Amino acid sequence: PTSVEIKLQKMLQHLDLNCASIDMIIDNNDNYVFLEINATGQFTYHSVFNNTYLDKEIALSLKTLYESYEKQN
């Protein structure tokens, strides 16, 4: 829900984070319950179980950025 998203964005700003993985659950009364925040982000679950290979995409993007930087210098 938008209200939860706004609260999470404010928390990220307060913690000076631009990327993180946030673990939450929904209780029996449909309340969103915050469990933890992983500042380094954890995406292995999504990469493996959803076949998104996000870790590979991030590595390839970083490689491309590095190669571009190297060509400029």
More confident: 69 or 4:
4
Listed in order, strand segments (DSSP E) in the chain are 21-26, 32-38
Token pair 């060509």 in the structure block, residue = 71
Confirm whether pTM is higher than 0.85: no
pLDDT, position 42? 66
Q: Determine which helix (DSSP H) or strand (DSSP E) holds 5, and give its type and residue range.
A: helix 2-14
Q: How far apart are CA 43 and CA 40, in angstroms?
A: 10
Per-residue model confidence as pLDDT tens digits over 16-60: 988 888 899 999 999 999 999 988 766 677 677 778 887 788 888
pLDDT, position 39? 80
DSSP state of 56: H
